[in-house]
Amino acid sequence: MPRTKENLFEMGADFGEDWSSDNKDKPAKKISKEIKSPEEHRLYFAKEKRRGKVVTIVKPFYLDKTTLQALLKTLKKKVGTGGAVKDESLEFQGDIPDVLRKHIEGLGYRFRN
């Protein structure tokens, strides 16, 4: 008869209904999907260095995914650089916060001071 391998952490232990030794059941991140108008946004810049190149990040946007994609496309054309959408932020290639701020504020969005 084949012998099943028992989980070593559960030998003789009663975890009850609320406990589990399996770490694959991770709770999903709670991301607020509250959609706000451009005037209600309080954006800020962050810079990261990836593979020796600078990436300018603008976050947090409270928009649905299609609107955020359209905003990214518009800004990429105006600034003339590549970019991507990650979670609730926009990432642009290069160190260009001044140029981005001008164009984003022109669309009605606001920044933190």
Q: pLDDT per residue over 21-39, tens digit each?
A: 555 556 665 555 688 888 8
Q: Is residue 59 part of a domain?
A: yes
Q: By residue range, what is the domain housing residue 87?
A: 36-113
pTM tops 0.75: no
Residue 43 inside a domain? The answer is: yes
Within-domain flag for 44: yes
pLDDT digits (tens, 9 = 90+) for 48-71: 999 999 999 999 999 999 999 999
Domain count, the chain: 1
Q: Domain holding 80: CATH number?
A: 3.30.780.10
Kindly state whether residue 82 falls inside one of the protein's structural domains: yes
Helices 97-106 and 65-79 pack at an angle, to 10 degrees, of 120
Asked whether residue 14 is domain-assigned, the answer is no
Structural domain includes residue 23 = no
